[in-house]
């Protein structure tokens, strides 16, 4: 797979390089550099049309920077995907569903996701405000708006509530999903005007961007309760489609951090009892090879303790949402792929689009892949499971489990659990924590707005 890596730091370095190259050829360099703070670049340089690709790369880079950590890694900590074997007390609390607004994890989640959102909104505004010669059909603008949409989706998935641009309005998740829909809708109109065969700066065709936008529209509409719109968008995504958040195994700034969390004696991710092979009844059993038949959720057959020398951890392997997924299972004598530094994570896919479609369609739905029951049985067959003859609420429960396996550890579970909670179904883990010494789970379902925002935003108060 081609790795077109977009780096926030690299983009800024490139911007500085372009600017300084121009200054070197200028006879009035001293006058240009005679400013109050010579260490900062003039904001006007961001309106140079020659730097559009650099600015767009910065948008993609900020999204990439926050996706594996904190969004996937910390976002899954108090779901039923992983057990977090971290020895840092405040991070360990996340695995116990205890989240405090005055600790660094809440601030890190809000800050990193907000940075990606702000970057995308800012560059989109600059492109529409004159930086683009033809904003109504500018494929790069469509790309930036699409990333803005996904940034609002991640905020809505992870945060209990959020502010935007130090504003006075505190947005609830559904409001953020609706803003995402606005960004995606605008992006789609521009992408269609640009033409499906146009090539983007990342070397992909606009046809791929259109598919990515439609996945985003299906996801945001599903979360906002717009089922018909979610279904309509999902049907426009081609079979086999993936859009990746790309990582690099040779640049320390752009590693997929999940690799470090399953590597060595200090590993810190284990599969939750709900997803281990054979189900919760197999928790703490050593040697689960015979049960590891579903290629979507593979893990080490034996558990071991890691960073905190306490939590039992069955280390996960790469599932469908990871670029090196190979479909092999331990039960069949295979070698499932492991997270690597350069392993990409899917932010949009045909698999997700179809899951969105059938959840929106309900138990009696029909769609591109047949009835809801037929779709569920197709996903079960993919996971080497026998067919079922369910209906109604029981069928939707099975659909939710198949969704969890299809999208395992890809950054979807927290948003899914919160959507189902809004619908009256509390599927967050509860009761005794699998790490026995930690006692009962707490009741957190999202990351609170951090104390830093209350202290730094004069327009809101505690």
Domain residue ranges of the chain, discontinuous segments joined by +: 8-251+345-425
The number of C-alpha atoms within 13 Å of 390 and in the hemisphere containing its C-beta is 20
CA separation for the pair 384, 366 (Å, rounded): 23
Whole-number pLDDT of residue 290:
98
Q: Which two tokens stand for residue 420?
A: 């189902």
**Picking from 53-57, 208-212, 222-226, which range would have the lowest pLDDT averaged per residue?**
53-57
Distance of CA 36 to the CA centre of its chain: 40
- Residue 122 has φ and ψ, to the nearest 5°, of -65, -50
Q: Cα–Cα distance between 64 and 58 in angstroms, integer?
A: 10
At 49 the pLDDT is: 65
Per-residue pLDDT tens digits for 119-161:
999 999 999 999 999 999 999 999 999 999 999 999 999 999 9
Q: Is the pLDDT of residue 381 over 90?
A: yes
Global pTM value:
0.90
273-306, pLDDT tens digit by residue?
999 999 999 999 999 999 999 999 999 999 999 9
Confidence of residue 44 (pLDDT cuts 50, 70, 90): low
Above 90 in pLDDT, residue 430?
yes
pLDDT score, position 146: 98
Structure tokens at 32: 């240009």
Say what the alpha-carbon torsion angle 87, 93, 94, 97 is, to the nearest 10 degrees.
150
Per residue in 61-103, pLDDT (tens digit) is 999 999 999 999 999 999 999 999 999 988 899 999 999 999 8
Q: Do residues 357 and 368 touch, judged by C-beta distance below 8 A?
A: yes
Q: 246 Cβ partners below 8 Å, 6+ apart?
A: 3, 4, 5, 6, 64, 344
288 in Cβ contact with 311 (< 8 Å): no
β-strand pairing of 242-245 with 345-349: antiparallel
Give the HSE-up count for residue 238: Cα atoms under 13 Å, Cβ half-sphere. Answer: 9
- Give me 451's structure tokens: 């104390």
Q: Cα(152)–Cα(118) distance, rounded to whole angstroms? A: 10
Q: Which letter does DSSP use for residue 362 in this model?
A: -
> Across residues 348-361, what is the average pLDDT?
98
Does the pLDDT value for residue 46 go beyond 90? no
CA–CA dist 184, 218 (Å, integer): 10
Architecture in CATH for domain 8-251+345-425? Alpha Horseshoe (1.25)
pLDDT at 42: 52
pLDDT tens per residue across span 246-274: 999 988 779 999 999 999 989 999 999 99
Q: What is the mean pLDDT of residues 415-433?
A: 98
Instruction: Name the DSSP class of 51.
Output: G
pLDDT at 10 over 60: no
List CB contacts of 82: < 8 A, sequence separation 6 or more.
76, 95, 269, 270, 271, 272, 316, 409
For residues 419-441, average pLDDT: 96
Which of 160, 33, 128, 91 has its CA nearest to residue 448? Answer: 160
Give yes or no for a contact between 140 and 53, defined as CB atoms under 8 angstroms apart: yes
The per-residue pLDDT of the chain, averaged, comes to: 91
The pLDDT of residue 17 is: 39
- Round to whole Å and give the CA distance between 38 and 20: 12
Is the predicted pLDDT of residue 29 greater than 90, yes or no? no
Confidence of residue 18 (pLDDT cuts 50, 70, 90): very low
Overall average pLDDT of the 395-409 stretch: 98
**Contacting residues for 92 by C-beta, under 8 A, at least 6 apart:** 84, 86, 308, 438
* Mean of pLDDT values over 200-220: 97
């Amino acid at each position: 797979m081609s790795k077109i890596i977009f780096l926030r730091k690299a983009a800024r370095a490139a911007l500085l390089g372009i600017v300084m190259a121009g200054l070197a050829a200028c006879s009035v360099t001293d006058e240009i550099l005679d400013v109050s703070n010579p260490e900062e670049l003039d904001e006007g340089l961001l309106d140079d049309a020659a730097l559009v690709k650099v600015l767009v790369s910065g948008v993609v880079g900020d999204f990439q920077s926050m996706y594996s950590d904190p969004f996937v890694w910390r976002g899954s900590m108090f779901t039923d995907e992983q057990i977090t074997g971290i020895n840092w007390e405040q991070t360990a609390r996340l695995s116990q569903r205890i989240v405090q607004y005055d600790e660094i994890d809440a601030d890190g989640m809000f800050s990193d996701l907000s940075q990606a959102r702000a970057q995308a909104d800012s560059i989109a505004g600059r492109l529409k405000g004159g930086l683009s010669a033809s904003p109504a059909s500018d494929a790069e603008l469509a790309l930036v708006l699409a990333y803005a949409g996904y940034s609002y989706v991640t905020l809505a998935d992870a945060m209990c509530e959020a502010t935007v641009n130090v504003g006075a309005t505190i947005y609830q998740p559904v409001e953020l999903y609706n803003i995402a829909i606005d960004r995606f809708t605008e992006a789609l109109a521009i992408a269609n005007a640009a033409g499906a065969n146009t090539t983007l700066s990342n070397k992909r065709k606009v046809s791929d961007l259109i598919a990515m936008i439609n996945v985003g529209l299906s996801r945001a509409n599903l979360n906002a309760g717009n089922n018909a719109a979610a279904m309509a968008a999902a049907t426009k995504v081609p079979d086999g489609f993936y859009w990746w958040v790309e990582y690099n195994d040779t640049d320390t700034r752009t590693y997929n951090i999940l690799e470090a969390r399953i590597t060595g004696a200090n590993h810190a991710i284990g599969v939750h009892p709900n997803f281990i092979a054979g189900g919760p009844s197999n928790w703490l059993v050593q040697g689960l090879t015979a049960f590891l038949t579903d290629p979507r959720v593979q893990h080490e057959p034996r558990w071991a303790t890691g960073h905190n020398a306490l939590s039992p951890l069955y280390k996960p392997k790469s599932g469908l949402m990871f670029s090196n997924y190979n479909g092999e299972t331990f039960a069949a004598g295979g070698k499932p792929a492991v997270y690597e530094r350069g392993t990409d994570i899917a932010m949009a896919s045909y698999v997700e689009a179809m899951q969105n479609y059938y959840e929106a369609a309900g138990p009696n739905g029909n769609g591109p892949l047949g009835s809801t029951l037929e779709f569920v049985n197709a996903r079960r067959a993919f996971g080497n499971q026998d067919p079922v003859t369910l209906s109604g609420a029981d069928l939707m429960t099975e659909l939710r489990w198949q969704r969890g396996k299809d999208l395992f550890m890809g950054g979807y579970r927290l948003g899914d659990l919160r959507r189902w909670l809004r619908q009256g179904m509390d599927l967050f883990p509860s009761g005794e924590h699998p790490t026995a010494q930690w006692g009962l789970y707490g009741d957190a379902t999202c990351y609170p707005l951090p104390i830093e925002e209350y202290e730094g935003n004069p327009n809101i108060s505690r």
